[in-house]
A and B are shown apart, each in its own frame.
Chain A
C-alpha cells in the first residue's frame, strides 16, 4: 500500500513538472521587439508583432507599441520602410520629443494611426505571471509620416 502511494505521488509530481513545462515559457530578458513585416501597399504597412502584459489588453497594447517603435527606430527589412523613420537612437529621440511621445503612447494617440489590429494567437502564459500575444497590426504610414513632419519630429522631404 505504502509502495503504491509512493508511486502515485511520484506520478503526480512528474505530471506536474510536465504540465508546468508545457504551459509556462521563459521570456527573453530585456526589451523584446518581435516584429516582422507581413505586407504593405499604397502607404500602409502590416506587421506581426508580439506583445507582453499582465492581461490580453496590456499585451495587445505592448505589441502595437513594439510595432510603432520598430518603424520609428529600427526600420523593417523587406518593407518600404527599411530604414528608421525617425532615427536609430531612440533614447535621444524620445528625450528630444518628450511631449510628442507622451501623447502618442501614454494618451494612446498612436491608435489613430492603427488601421486594424487583429490577435493571431491565444494568450500564452509565461513565468512570473506575464502573458504574451501575437497580433497583426496595420499602420497608416502616410498619415504617420505627415504627423511626424507636422510636429517637427522629422524633416519634410527636401532641404
Chain B
C-alpha cells in the first residue's frame, strides 16, 4: 500500500516538473498574443571582386548617403533594418572572418548577421559635359535562397552641379518607394504561400543506407519515401527538388508557413527540421539535423 502511494507521489511530481519546464513563464506570458516574426533586412553596398566592403563605404560618401537614404525609406514604413556597419564592426571585433577573400567576407557578414533579406545598392557616378548624374541599382534578395525580391534602377537626372551627395539622394528618392512597394508584394506572397527553405539530405560516412535503400513497412526506396513526406508536409504542397543521387537529395525550395496552422504561433525552419527528424525516426532511421538560417541539413546515420 505504501509503495502505491510512493509511486503516485512520484508520478505527480514528474507531471508537475514537466509542466513547469514547458509552461510559459509568467514574466513572459503575453496572454496568447502572437506577433509575427519580421524578416531581418540589411542594406549593403555593392562591391567588385577584391574590394573591401568597409573601405568601400568609408571612402565613398555617396554610397553612405545612398545607403542611409534607403534605410530612411524602410524607417518611413516603420521597419527597422540591421545596420551593416555595426555588424561589420562586431564581426571584426570577434574575428569572425576566416578568409581574406572579400566575396567570402560579404557572404559571411550576411550569414553572421542572420539577415533574411539583404538589399544591395550600387551607386554609379556619371560626369559629362551636359551635366552630372548619379545612377543607383537596387536589388533585394532572400539570403537563404537567393530569390530576387525587388529590383529597381534610380536616376537623379542630369544637373550642372558637383554636389554628388544631393544627386545620390535624388537617385534614391526616384525609386525607393517603388522598390519597397514591390518588396511588400513579395512579402505578402510569402505570408500567403509560405517562405522558402532549403532541405539538404545526405548520409553519414558510416551509414549503411542509400537513397535507393528500400525501407519502412511498405519497402519503398528512401528517396520516394522522403518525397511523399514532402508532398504532404510542404506548405500548400509547394516544393522543388534540385536533384537526387544515391547519396544526396536536395530540395532547393520547400515552402513552410510563417505561422503554425494549428496553433497560430510563429513557425520556423527549426520546427520543420524537427518534423523531418520525427519522420526519419518513424521509418526507423537515425538522423542528425542542423539548421543554418533557412537551410536544413539532415544527415542519416
* A residues adjacent to B (C-beta < 8 A): 41-43, 80-83, 142, 145, 149, 155-159
Contact = CB atoms under 8 A, between A and B. Distances in A.
A72 to B, nearest CB: 14
Given A43-B76, A142-B76, A159 B187 contact: yes
B38 A158 contact: yes
Nearest to B182: A83
Contacts of A145: 77
Name B's interface SS: helix
Nearest to A43: B76
Nearest to B176: A80
A81 B74 CA distance: 16
Nearest to B184: A157
A49 to B, nearest CB: 21
Most buried by B among A80, A157, A158: A158
Contacts of B184: 155, 157
A157 B187 contact: yes
A58 to B, nearest CB: 33
A83 B179 CA distance: 11
Contacts of A81: 177, 181
Nearest to A82: B178
Given A81-B181, A82-B178, A157 B78 contact: yes
25 contacts: A42-B173, A43-B76, A80-B177, A81-B177, A81-B181, A82-B178, A82-B181, A83-B181, A83-B182, A83-B185, A149-B78, A155-B184, A155-B188, A156-B78, A157-B78, A157-B183, A157-B187, A158-B36, A158-B38, A158-B39, A158-B79, A159-B37, A159-B39, A159-B187, A159-B258
Contacts of B77: 145, 156-157
A20 to B, nearest CB: 47
B53 to A, nearest CB: 25
Interface string B156-186: 0000000000000000010001101111110
7 nearest A-B pairs in the assembled complex, by CB-CB distance: A80-B177, A157-B77, A158-B38, A157-B79, A159-B36, A159-B191, A80-B178
